[in-house]
Structure 1
Amino acid sequence: MKKNILILLFLGIQGIAQNFDYRNYNSLLNSHVSSRGNVNYDKLKTNKADLDKVVEEFQKNQPSSKWSRNEILAYYINSYNVHTLKKVIDNYPTKSIKNIKNAWDDKFIILGSKKISLSYIEHNILRKMNEPRIHFAINCASYSCPNLLNVAYLPNTLETQLELVTKEFVNDSSKNDISTDEIKISEIFNWFSGDFKTKNTSLIDFLNKYSTVKISDNAKVRYLSYNWSLNK
C-alpha cells in the first residue's frame, strides 16, 4: 500500500495538465488531506480562502469539445471532489455530509451559464462516460467512501491513478471483506451494480481484476452497512 501511495504522490506532484493547471488544487490537497484520505476539515475551514480560490479556478476553466476524454474525466473527478470539500466546509462543523440539506442535489456548482449539482456531475457526466473506476476516485466525504486522493488526477496519469485507487479500495479491509467463497463488500457495488457489469462479465469478474484473493464465481455476496461519518 505504501508503494502505491508513493506512486500516486509522484504522479500528482506537479499538477500541470494541458488545458488546466491543477497546481493550486494539488497544493490544497497536499496540505489538508493525509495519505490515507483523512481530511483536516478544521485546518481547511481556517484556509477557506484557498479552497474558494481553487473552486473559482474550476469555474473559470471548463472543458470544451477540444479536450480529450482523459482531460474531461480528470476535470470532472477533481471538480466533484473539490466541490464536495466546499459543500462540507460551507456547512462545517458537521458530523456527516448527510446532515447537510440537499448536499448532493443543491445546484451550487457553476458550469458555464448554468448551475449544477454534485449529483449532476456524478450521474449525468461521469457515469455516462463508461468508466466504472470513477466510483473509486470521487469522494463523498465519508468514512466508507473510497479514500480521497491527496493529489490531483491528471490526464496523462489518469489510467495509472484509476487502476491504483480501484485496487486499493477493493483490497481495503476497512471497506470490503473478501474471501474465496464469500464477499462482504461496499454498498457502492450494490448502488451502481450495473456500472460494473457488461453483457459478458459479472461483478465478480470486475472484482477479480483487482482483488488479491481469487473470488469464486458462485461466492456468496453480502453488502456492508455504509458509514457516513465525516472522513476526518
Structure 2
Amino acid sequence: MDMPPFSLAGLRVLLADAGQRRSPVIRLELIRLRCQLVDVIDLVTDPDALGSVLVRQAPELLLIDCEQPTPELLEQLGQAQAQLPRPVLLVAEQMTPAQMRAALAAGVSALQLAGLPPQRLGALLQLALARFEHDQALQRELRLAQTQLAERKLVERARGILMREQGLDEEAAFQRLRQLAMDGGQTLAAVAARLIDADQLLRPR
C-alpha cells in the first residue's frame, strides 16, 4: 500500500548556503511549494552559525547547499542532530564515498549530488522527510527492544532470588512475581528491580 506524500505546505525550512549562490532559486522554488523559508545561513562568512541558528529558528527541515561538506560542517550537524533530530537534505556538487558515509552518520536524511535542479526540490524534500520518519521509527523500535531485554533480565534475576530464598521452582517464582506486581499495581520489571535492590541491601558483604 502506497503511503500518501508528506505535505510541504507550511514546512519550516532553514537553508544553509556554503557559497553555491543558489539560495535565490531555492527560495523561489520553496515559495512555489508553499514552504516557509525561516532563514538563510551564509556558511562562508559565518561557518560556525549552524548550531545556534537551528536552536533559534527550530526549523522542521534543514537544507544544506555546498560544494563539498567539510568535516567541521558535519561535526556541527552531528552535534545538532544529537540534541534534536530533524530531516536534513544535503545538496553537494561532489562527494567521496567516505564523505557520504560521514554525512549519513551525522544525520543527513537525503543526498543530492551534482547540483539541484529546481524541479526536483519537492521530491527531494519528500525523500528527506520519508527517510527521517523511517529512521526515527527504527530508533524507537531499537529502544523498545533494548528496554524489553533489560526488563526480561531483571525479571530473570528476581525470579532467581525467589527460587534461592523461598525454595520455589521457576514457574512458582514467576507466579509470585506476577502476584506482587498485581497487588502493588506495578509492572513486573518494577517489582523485580525492587526485589533485586532489597536482596543486595540484605545480602552480607
What is the TM-score when the length of structure 1 is the normalising length? 0.26
Give the structure, 1 or 2, with the largest relative contact order (CA under 8 Å, sep 6 or more). Answer: 1
Structure with greater helix share of residues: 2
What is the TM-score when the length of structure 2 is the normalising length? 0.28
Highest CA radius of gyration, 1 or 2?
Answer: 2
Structure with greater strand share of residues: 2
